[in-house]
Chain A
Amino acid sequence: MKKLVLALLLILSLLMEGCWSRREIEDMAMVTGMGIDTVKVAGKEKFLITFQIIRGTGGPGGMGGGVGGGGVGPGTMVTQAFWVTSSIGDNLADAVVNLSTRSPRKVDLAHMEVVVLGRKVAEEKVPEVVDFLQRERTIRLRTWVVVAEGEARDVVTSQPELERSLFKGINSLIFNRKDVSKTEVVDLKDFLIALADPGREPVTGVIRVFRPPEIKKMASQAATGQAAKVVRLHGGAVFARGRLVDFWDDRTTRGYLWTQSKAERGIITLSLPGFSRPVALKIRGSLARIRPEIKNGELKIKIRVRVQGDINDNQNPGAKIADIRVIKGLEKEYARAVKDEIAAALRRAQEKKSDVFGFGEAVHRHLPAVWRQVEKDWPEVFAELPVEIEVKAAIKHAGLADNTIKIK
């Protein structure tokens, strides 16, 4: 009897080894990133999602060849390794499923790294977009959220540079943003938190599509007729109450970064009194503290920022840049420049009543009693909020040169 049962179990385990939710890799259409736009179809507004999908094995042309094979336009290479496609639906869920009317493989969002929101979507459709992004099981909260300056599909259809995958490239740009400190990008988790939790509004990166001058000149490019559009990531997309309200330039965005201790590396250019040409510093990190306080019955915010930098580029030949007195002046100038940038960001944010700095959050955490009074009309309170900015700057190193050489 026992042997019979055992034998039966063994046979069964052979027959039942499969499972329902099994997916073979060659049957999957793995989405690396998607762009969300809206379009009018027969008078009705619908969502248009543009996907970049890994073609993997078995696709036309396969994965063969590396980038830069002689004579092959970048377009050809891309169509081999990736499939750029789109689908339309009444909502995100519908649009994603509708892709399966076209994709012979099962659409899989689990490896998606970036979601690009088209400008119009970011302005008007955020409430209609966030729920699916949080609820859908396969989408990860670590997915980056960026905003396209124009249509998201222009981003997805642009050419990758250096990497084979556009979104792998964008993903790396996002990781490298700290080397430049001219943009901030949030992932889905932080985007949702900033949308939902009181006292802070989201800022994320802007993807801009442009035609690079160096490629336009290449004759081979003109011959293939390929639209050589590429992307850059810089500047900030600022939200308020679930809407995109402002695009910030690099300087303003860095003003925001200083207040969040997020300006880690990058270059800041200063013009020094007594120097005819500017001096560039390498940023060596920032440390900020935001504290709310009540003075004379009035709510006030104090921002204290400590920044460090190295001399990286002096354009004044013969200047005694490494002199300790000059460095003291440089530190002063550095602090003033940082303060100016913060003030610029503050002005823009208050104009749009968007508390990207998390002042409300600071009030909520440190003065909960005060927060209860101002919570209701916080955007208005924020717009008029007096803010004191205090910056201390230190120059640490001067690179491999002492004073700049004299040119005879």
Chain B
Amino acid sequence: MLEKGRLYWWQLQWLLFNTVFPTAVMFVSAITAQVARQDAWIAILLFATVFGLVAGLVCYYLGIRFPRLNLVQYVDLLVGKAAGKVISCAYIIFFLWINAAIIREFSSFLATAFMPETPELVFTATIMLLSAYMVRNGLEVMASVNQLLVSVMLFVFASITLLSVNDMDFGRLLPVLEKGWLPVLKASLTPGYWRTEVAVMLMLLPYLKEPREGKRAVVRAVLILGFLVTVDVISNLAIFGPELTANSTFPTLNQIRYISLARFLDRIEAVVMILWVAGILIKVGVFYYVAVLALAQLFQLEDYKPVVLPVGFLLALLSDVLFTGSQDLKEFIIKPLAVMAYTFHLAIPLFLLLVAAVRRVGQ
């Protein structure tokens, strides 16, 4: 076993939460509002949650057939060695690709919104070094760090929501379902795939103290996400209206910048951003970790530590060369990444689950 750490189910739950939340809260309301207008929250509350639950449960039922093995280990048992290696390779490439996008989102966000004169490479290098250190220390450390950060993040999120209640006009959410369900359904594809990111559980489930509790972890993670991201989208819409929400690059950042309590408490975005950065550190860390672990497993290394730095270097490089700028990145996030995410988070696990059921492999 490459990973000797063991997690409690609630540690996994919050790890999965932070695998989705940090970037979702930054980008998702604008992208969703572009299609669903003032109904964006319905897309996120209902459909995205369904997508997340389906993906999460498929991955759970697949994983629980092999309680102490991860995807790269049991895929060989399911489809044979050759095909198994191909699928494992594809997953590793996907994990790297999506992570490159996440890292770039982080760097370009900081560069656009806070420090325009700093080269993006500096942000990339910083977060890669930090997460490399975290990944090297293993899953248990990452989960504990996450636990610490999550509690503060939740506190901050609740605070910014409460502080902006005064500026919200819930009339802006009317009329509900103006153009029917279709645009809402269409709009939910993006937040939907965001939610399916809980599928990283494919690699993490065997490291639970009791893998059967993974179901509870993933379902609760998806529901908590549904609730919090909906709160975020509703606040954005109620403050800025559909047009301005759809039109903003970072609606939630605008919301935080807009907070002003009695001409006394304002300009708090810097404090808030510290925690956001912390959240993204976990997100990058999780995808980084699963890529490293899968790679080590694929080549049957005795330890995954030697590949941590090379993979980190590769990630930093990919994040720089794959995208030219924020708009290019946004294009990628909306379309190609959605296709990839649904394939790797939903389609392939579903296929493997069917194979396992038909061939009666696993428990």
In the complex, A376 has a CB within 8 A of chain B? no
Q: Evaluate contact between B171 and A365: CB separation under 8 angstroms.
A: yes
In the complex, B113 has a CB within 8 A of chain A? yes
Q: Evaluate contact between A20 and B175: CB separation under 8 angstroms.
A: no
Question: Across the interface, which residues of B come within 8 angstroms of A142, CB to CB?
Answer: 257-258, 260, 266
In the complex, B242 has a CB within 8 A of chain A? yes
Q: Which of A21, A134, A193, A365 contacts B175 (CB 8 A)?
A: A365
Q: Evaluate contact between B119 and A197: CB separation under 8 angstroms.
A: no
Chain B positions 84 through 127: 1 when the CB is less than 8 Å from some CB of chain A, otherwise 0: 00000000000000000000000000001111111100100000
Task: Tell me how far the C-beta of B98 lies from the nearest C-beta in chain A, rounded to whole angstroms.
Answer: 27
Q: Evaluate contact between A364 and B113: CB separation under 8 angstroms.
A: no
Chain A positions 185 through 208: 1 when the CB is less than 8 Å from some CB of chain B, otherwise 0: 000010011001100000000000
Q: Is the interface of A mostly helix, strand, loop or mixed?
A: helix
| CA gap between A295 and B4 in the complex, in Å | 74
Question: Across the interface, which residues of A come within 8 angstroms of B178, CB to CB?
Answer: 368
| CA gap between A142 and B114 in the complex, in Å | 18
Question: Across the interface, which residues of A come within 8 angstroms of B241, CB to CB?
Answer: 193, 196-197
Q: Is the interface of B mostly helix, strand, loop or mixed?
A: helix
Q: How many pairs, one residue from A and one from B, have CB atoms within 8 Å of each other in the complex?
A: 54
Q: Evaluate contact between B117 and A20: CB separation under 8 angstroms.
A: yes
Q: Evaluate contact between A137 and B113: CB separation under 8 angstroms.
A: yes
| CA gap between A19 and B112 in the complex, in Å | 16
Q: Evaluate contact between A197 and B174: CB separation under 8 angstroms.
A: no
A192 (CB) vs chain B CBs: closest residue = B244
Q: Evaluate contact between A21 and B117: CB separation under 8 angstroms.
A: yes
Question: Across the interface, which residues of B come within 8 angstroms of A365, CB to CB?
Answer: 171, 174-175
Q: Evaluate contact between A189 and B240: CB separation under 8 angstroms.
A: yes
B residues 199-244 in Cβ contact with A at 8 Å: 239-244
In the complex, A140 has a CB within 8 A of chain B? yes
A21 (CB) vs chain B CBs: closest residue = B115
A371 (CB) vs chain B CBs: closest residue = B175
Q: Evaluate contact between B115 and A19: CB separation under 8 angstroms.
A: yes
In the complex, A141 has a CB within 8 A of chain B? yes
In the complex, B263 has a CB within 8 A of chain A? yes
Q: Evaluate contact between B240 and A140: CB separation under 8 angstroms.
A: no
In the complex, B147 has a CB within 8 A of chain A? no
Q: Evaluate contact between A20 and B115: CB separation under 8 angstroms.
A: yes
A175 (CB) vs chain B CBs: closest residue = B263
Task: Tell me how far the C-beta of A326 lies from the nearest C-beta in chain B, rounded to whole angstroms.
Answer: 39
Question: Across the interface, which residues of B come within 8 angstroms of A197, CB to CB?
Answer: 172, 241-244
Task: Tell me how far the C-beta of B304 lies from the nearest C-beta in chain A, rounded to whole angstroms.
Answer: 22
In the complex, B247 has a CB within 8 A of chain A? yes
A: interface residue count bin: 10 to 19
In the complex, A211 has a CB within 8 A of chain B? no
Q: Evaluate contact between B112 and A137: CB separation under 8 angstroms.
A: yes
Question: Across the interface, which residues of A come within 8 angstroms of B242, CB to CB?
Answer: 197
In the complex, B254 has a CB within 8 A of chain A? yes
| CA gap between A142 and B174 in the complex, in Å | 24
Q: Which of B114, B243, B254, B266 contacts A21 (CB 8 A)?
A: B114
Q: Which of A141, A364, A366 contacts B257 (CB 8 A)?
A: A141
Question: Across the interface, which residues of B come within 8 angstroms of A19, CB to CB?
Answer: 115, 118
Question: Across the interface, which residues of A come within 8 angstroms of B247, CB to CB?
Answer: 134, 196
A residues 193-252 in Cβ contact with B at 8 Å: 193, 196-197
Question: Across the interface, which residues of B come within 8 angstroms of A366, CB to CB?
Answer: 174-175
Question: Across the interface, which residues of B come within 8 angstroms of A137, CB to CB?
Answer: 112-113, 116
Chain B CB within 10 A, most for which of A19, A142, A364: A142
Q: Evaluate contact between A196 and B244: CB separation under 8 angstroms.
A: yes
Chain A positions 16 through 39: 1 when the CB is less than 8 Å from some CB of chain B, otherwise 0: 000111000000000000000000
A367 (CB) vs chain B CBs: closest residue = B175
Question: Across the interface, which residues of A come within 8 angstroms of B172, CB to CB?
Answer: 197
Question: Across the interface, which residues of B come within 8 angstroms of A141, CB to CB?
Answer: 254, 257-258
| CA gap between A135 and B260 in the complex, in Å | 20
| CA gap between A348 and B263 in the complex, in Å | 34
Q: Evaluate contact between A140 and B257: CB separation under 8 angstroms.
A: yes
Question: Across the interface, which residues of B come within 8 angstroms of A21, CB to CB?
Answer: 114-118
Question: Across the interface, which residues of A come within 8 angstroms of B239, CB to CB?
Answer: 189
| CA gap between A134 and B243 in the complex, in Å | 13
B178 (CB) vs chain A CBs: closest residue = A368
Q: Evaluate contact between A20 and B122: CB separation under 8 angstroms.
A: yes
Question: Across the interface, which residues of A come within 8 angstroms of B243, CB to CB?
Answer: 193, 196-197
| CA gap between A26 and B133 in the complex, in Å | 39
Question: Across the interface, which residues of A come within 8 angstroms of B171, CB to CB?
Answer: 361, 365
Chain B positions 244 through 255: 1 when the CB is less than 8 Å from some CB of chain A, otherwise 0: 100100000010
Question: Across the interface, which residues of A come within 8 angstroms of B174, CB to CB?
Answer: 364-366
Question: Across the interface, which residues of B come within 8 angstroms of A368, CB to CB?
Answer: 175, 178
Task: Tell me how far the C-beta of B136 lies from the nearest C-beta in chain A, rounded to whole angstroms.
Answer: 14
Q: Evaluate contact between A193 and B260: CB separation under 8 angstroms.
A: no
Chain A positions 113 through 142: 1 when the CB is less than 8 Å from some CB of chain B, otherwise 0: 000000000000000000000100100111
| CA gap between A368 and B241 in the complex, in Å | 16
Task: Tell me how far the C-beta of A318 lies from the nearest C-beta in chain B, rounded to whole angstroms.
Answer: 45
| CA gap between A196 and B254 in the complex, in Å | 17
| CA gap between A365 and B260 in the complex, in Å | 28
A residues 313-356 in Cβ contact with B at 8 Å: none
Q: Evaluate contact between B244 and A193: CB separation under 8 angstroms.
A: yes
| CA gap between A217 and B258 in the complex, in Å | 44
Question: Across the interface, which residues of A come within 8 angstroms of B266, CB to CB?
Answer: 142
| CA gap between A197 and B237 in the complex, in Å | 12
Chain A CB within 10 A, most for which of B113, B119, B244, B254: B244
| CA gap between A210 and B260 in the complex, in Å | 32
B122 (CB) vs chain A CBs: closest residue = A20
A196 (CB) vs chain B CBs: closest residue = B243
Q: Evaluate contact between A189 and B115: CB separation under 8 angstroms.
A: no
| CA gap between A175 and B262 in the complex, in Å | 11
A19 (CB) vs chain B CBs: closest residue = B118
B residues 237-292 in Cβ contact with A at 8 Å: 239-244, 247, 254, 257-258, 260, 263, 266
A172 (CB) vs chain B CBs: closest residue = B263
Q: Which of B114, B116, B118, B244 contacts A189 (CB 8 A)?
A: B244
Question: Across the interface, which residues of A come within 8 angstroms of B175, CB to CB?
Answer: 364-366, 368
Question: Across the interface, which residues of A come within 8 angstroms of B257, CB to CB?
Answer: 140-142
| CA gap between A189 and B257 in the complex, in Å | 11
| CA gap between A398 and B116 in the complex, in Å | 59
Give the B-binding residues of A (Cβ under 8 A).
Answer: 19-21, 134, 137, 140-142, 175, 189, 192-193, 196-197, 361, 364-366, 368
The 5 closest A-B pairs by CB, nearest first: A365-B174, A20-B118, A21-B115, A196-B243, A368-B175
Additional 6 contacts, C-beta under 8 A, given A137-B116, A142-B257, A196-B247: A19-B118, A20-B115, A141-B257, A142-B266, A197-B244, A361-B171
Give the A-binding residues of B (Cβ under 8 A).
Answer: 112-119, 122, 171-172, 174-175, 178, 239-244, 247, 254, 257-258, 260, 263, 266
10 contacts between A and B (CB under 8 A): A20-B119, A137-B113, A141-B258, A142-B257, A175-B263, A193-B240, A196-B241, A365-B175, A366-B174, A368-B178
